Chains A and B, each alone.
Chain A
Amino acid sequence: MSTSMTYYLIFCGAFIILTWAAYIPFRSGLLYNGTVYCMAIGGYFAGFASKTLGLPFPVVIIGAMLVGALLGFIPALGFSRTSGVVTAVSSMALIFIIQSVIRNMDFIGGSRGLSGIPKVENLVIYTAIIVVITGIFVYRLDHSRIGRAFESIQTDPDMAKTLGINVKKMTILGLTISSVLGALSGALYAYNMRIIYPETFGFSLLLSVQTMLFVGGRYTQWGMLLSVPILWGLPGWIPKSMSNYAQIIYGIILILVLMLRPEGIITRELLNKIKKVITGKNKTVNVNQ
């Protein structure tokens, strides 16, 4: 496999997981911007643990997820009391906080970044395995009682309460799971880049993640599998003479997709239709059941 393909696939894997991390809070009706914060935590933990502590890859990955869970759980306690725009705006603050904290921590490189993260052989294979496992987890979560509880909260939190769902606990759970996935993607990203900076985990990354989520389709977990490879590979698709306009093309695609398909490219309706085509049945099947 070419070097280019290897890096591309690992980046795609990391961003698919990151987009799933943004997708899970969305399932319970929260536009949570703390995924990038958790990605930074996972990335820096992975960098520090592998470079300074010399821990092996599997231990680092598990450690990053645990640290992500812990540091994602704490703000989740607060965010469980918020909703809508308030969550979106206030969770953005986490990005500022984590960047400032990292810049002032010299033992992880401070503003100069953390370099010298060891190379992991066959990282692309590990990434593929992790993406598959994570995908199965998200699928099972979506189709479990918890997933249905998330959905009912998204539809109407008050109605969810009348159904006996503890909205606060469910929100905390969703945000914590999201944090774990965010940290996992950060660890993979750090291993792929082998040098990370506080600035990496900023608004442009957040914008990319939200774009991938909204373009792919935010009501199913499958949209990311389409939007991430396309959007990440976009600069390579554009003819050289038009490379200066890459950002404009990116924006136009986003606007067109959201105008023509407000729910994103992959919707539940589309999945149902595809399923019918594959199975040859005309009966409507709810993929979420």
Chain B
Amino acid sequence: MKKGIKYLAILFVFILSMGSMMACGGNNNTGNETKAADDSITADNETGGDDAVYVDEWEIPILSAVTGNIAYVGKPAGWAAEYAAKMINEQGGINGVPIKVTVYDTQFDTAKAVTHMSSVVDDSLIVVGPMDAPGAESAGQVAFDAGVPNIASYSFADIRAQYSPFAIAYMTDSEEGDWLAAQEWLKINDDIESVVIFTCPTDTSQMATTELLKEMLPTIGVEVKGVVEVASGQLDCGPSAVQAINMKADGYISVLRADEYAKIVVELRNRGVEEGRRITASFSSYSVNTFEVAGDALDGTYIWNKMNPDYEGEEWQALVEAYQQDFDGESPVVNPVPDFYNALMAIKQCYEELGITGNPDKAEEEKQLIAEWLNNSPVIEGIQGEFQWVDGKKEAPVYFFQMEGNVPKAVTTE
């Protein structure tokens, strides 16, 4: 008995020690080998010279919400990064050295995002993600403190300024897109003079967009009759739809995510909004979930996106084909797919133009150079047209669609 207790005590101590070591080592890339210094030195000796590439594999951590509430966006984002790495490697890697991406699941949890970021910053020249705004804002300070460039969801100018030059937005600013889309919608439907906005009070990005629309719409002569708050995961959206209809507005703007928007649009159409053209939605609703759940209720409604799923470029079509193979025939419709792909391709261009070596002795200098290059980049040829970063803000086209049945058809491009 006494012996058993001793073993139990030893086991506890062992578990504690192992837990601490495994969970919080300098690099916890489970299943992936960290680059050994000896290997790097060998590589350097073989290639010779200070400017030679020091590493024999570029490791790039990807932080994405692969599980959790926004996994429908996070999983494709992680896939896109892995696909981009595969393409880069097929083209000979970066400066002749292959690239390796490791996807870390932040679970749409800020503490998890910080934990993962802290586990990778010590050994990385750059980190891509978190793909969600709260995660990026939280983990961004870890990257900033470590002086590591971070291409993530920096949707707000103040946060980009706070972490400048290390904070680079992987996508265009949502608020601007929403405002552009609203203007486009109102231009096409010039009889709409008053609107109701659907928003989620617990979503920082949606609330910021709502505030912007409330401020800007009156400047173009459109009255905001009211804001209807829809909780994340709300099961019955009927009362919210009734509340909006009772405000007697001409049109409805939704900045909700896919699940809530799909329910709202169905309720609106079932409760008397006959013309779909009176409803417009934000890019965050652009998902297969919305199209499947809402079905024909979407007919005639508008929606905007930061990507065009029907883009005809050869590179994009190849990506779509690969995506369909991996996702049971589904096509990519969420913007992090082209955006994460573009981020990896931009990193390749950056490393090659700057002649990044990966030499640990020059790490600080190289990280600074990478951050500055990306923060104010040259015009880059992306998978869906050109884009550029200006002070960390991404400037790229947005796309506007009108639904035919539950299929989006491009209307115009800004």
Residues of A within 8 A of B (CB): 2-9, 11, 99, 103, 110-113, 115-116, 119, 192-195, 197-200, 204, 226, 229-230, 232-241, 243-244, 246-247, 270, 273-274, 276-277
Is the Cβ of A274 less than 8 Å from the Cβ of B137? Answer: no
Is the Cβ of B24 less than 8 Å from the Cβ of A5? Answer: yes
Distance of A113 Cα from B158 Cα, bound (Å): 13
Given A3-B121, A11-B111, A200-B110, do A195 and B24 touch, yes or no (CB 8 Å)? no
Distance of A235 Cα from B106 Cα, bound (Å): 10
Closest residue of B by beta carbon distance from A234? B23
Given A7-B118, A195-B138, A229-B16, 10 extra CB contacts under 8 A: A3-B121, A5-B24, A8-B115, A99-B202, A195-B141, A199-B202, A236-B115, A239-B30, A240-B32, A247-B107
With an 8 A cutoff between CB atoms, is B26 at the interface? Answer: yes
- Identify the 10 closest CB pairs spanning chains A and B, nearest first: A233-B23, A236-B23, A8-B24, A240-B31, A7-B118, A2-B26, A4-B119, A5-B24, A240-B30, A112-B204
Is the Cβ of B25 less than 8 Å from the Cβ of A5? Answer: yes
Is the Cβ of A236 less than 8 Å from the Cβ of B28? Answer: yes
With an 8 A cutoff between CB atoms, is B134 at the interface? Answer: yes
Residue of B2, B8, B118, B146 ringed by the most chain A CB atoms within 10 A: B118
Distance of A198 Cα from B9 Cα, bound (Å): 40
Closest residue of B by beta carbon distance from A237? B22
Measured between beta carbons, the chain A residues less than 8 angstroms from B24 are 2, 4-5, 7-9, 233, 236
Measured between beta carbons, the chain B residues less than 8 angstroms from A103 are 201-202
Measured between beta carbons, the chain B residues less than 8 angstroms from A3 are 118-119, 121-122, 142, 145-146
With an 8 A cutoff between CB atoms, is B390 at the interface? Answer: no
Is the Cβ of B159 less than 8 Å from the Cβ of A115? Answer: yes
Distance of A239 Cα from B16 Cα, bound (Å): 18
Measured between beta carbons, the chain A residues less than 8 angstroms from B66 are 243-244
Per-residue CB proximity of B224-253 to A under 8 Å, as 1/0? Answer: 000000000000000000000000000000
With an 8 A cutoff between CB atoms, is B317 at the interface? Answer: no
Compute the total of residue contacts between A and B using a CB distance below 8 Å: 140
Distance of A112 Cα from B20 Cα, bound (Å): 33
With an 8 A cutoff between CB atoms, is B187 at the interface? Answer: no
Closest residue of B by beta carbon distance from A99? B202
13 residue pairs of the A-B complex, CB under 8 angstroms, read A3-B121, A111-B201, A111-B202, A112-B208, A199-B202, A229-B20, A230-B19, A232-B23, A233-B24, A236-B22, A236-B24, A236-B28, A240-B31
With an 8 A cutoff between CB atoms, is B327 at the interface? Answer: no
Distance of A11 Cα from B115 Cα, bound (Å): 9
With an 8 A cutoff between CB atoms, is B383 at the interface? Answer: no
Is the Cβ of B115 less than 8 Å from the Cβ of A119? Answer: no
Is the Cβ of A226 less than 8 Å from the Cβ of B12? Answer: yes
Closest residue of B by beta carbon distance from A100? B201
Residues of B within 8 A of A (CB): 2, 5-6, 8-9, 12, 15-16, 19-20, 22-32, 66-67, 102, 105, 107, 109-112, 114-115, 118-119, 121-122, 134, 137-138, 141-142, 145-146, 156, 159, 162, 201-204, 207-208
Is the Cβ of B19 less than 8 Å from the Cβ of A233? Answer: yes
Residue of B26, B156, B202 ringed by the most chain A CB atoms within 10 A: B202
Is the Cβ of A277 less than 8 Å from the Cβ of B2? Answer: yes
Distance of A7 Cα from B22 Cα, bound (Å): 14
Distance of A51 Cα from B122 Cα, bound (Å): 27
Closest residue of B by beta carbon distance from A9? B24
Is the Cβ of B111 less than 8 Å from the Cβ of A200? Answer: yes
Distance of A274 Cα from B121 Cα, bound (Å): 40
Closest residue of B by beta carbon distance from A229? B19
Distance of A9 Cα from B115 Cα, bound (Å): 11
Is the Cβ of B134 less than 8 Å from the Cβ of A113? Answer: yes
Measured between beta carbons, the chain B residues less than 8 angstroms from A194 are 138, 141
Distance of A72 Cα from B12 Cα, bound (Å): 35
- Distance (Å) between the CB of A123 and the closest chain B CB? 12
Distance of A99 Cα from B19 Cα, bound (Å): 33
Partner of B122, one of A4, A119, A240, A241: A4
Measured between beta carbons, the chain B residues less than 8 angstroms from A200 are 110-111
Residue of B8, B24, B32, B156 ringed by the most chain A CB atoms within 10 A: B24
Measured between beta carbons, the chain B residues less than 8 angstroms from A274 are 5, 9
Closest residue of B by beta carbon distance from A2? B26
Is the Cβ of B67 less than 8 Å from the Cβ of A246? Answer: yes
Is the Cβ of A115 less than 8 Å from the Cβ of B115? Answer: no
Is the Cβ of A4 less than 8 Å from the Cβ of B111? Answer: no
- Distance (Å) between the CB of B374 and the closest chain A CB? 21
Distance of A195 Cα from B111 Cα, bound (Å): 10
Distance of A236 Cα from B137 Cα, bound (Å): 22
Measured between beta carbons, the chain B residues less than 8 angstroms from A236 are 22-24, 28, 30, 115, 119
Given A4-B28, A103-B201, do A273 and B5 touch, yes or no (CB 8 Å)? yes
Measured between beta carbons, the chain A residues less than 8 angstroms from B30 are 236-240, 243
Is the Cβ of B207 less than 8 Å from the Cβ of A112? Answer: yes
Distance of A78 Cα from B30 Cα, bound (Å): 48
Is the Cβ of A116 less than 8 Å from the Cβ of B162? Answer: yes
- Distance (Å) between the CB of B96 and the closest chain A CB? 27
- Distance (Å) between the CB of B36 and the closest chain A CB? 17
Closest residue of B by beta carbon distance from A278? B9
- Distance (Å) between the CB of B255 and the closest chain A CB? 13
Is the Cβ of A8 less than 8 Å from the Cβ of B208? Answer: no
Given A4-B26, A11-B115, A204-B109, do A198 and B202 touch, yes or no (CB 8 Å)? yes
Distance of A11 Cα from B23 Cα, bound (Å): 12
Partner of B138, one of A193, A230, A238, A276: A193
Measured between beta carbons, the chain A residues less than 8 angstroms from B137 are 113, 115, 195
Is the Cβ of B134 less than 8 Å from the Cβ of A277? Answer: no
Partner of B5, one of A111, A192, A247, A277: A277
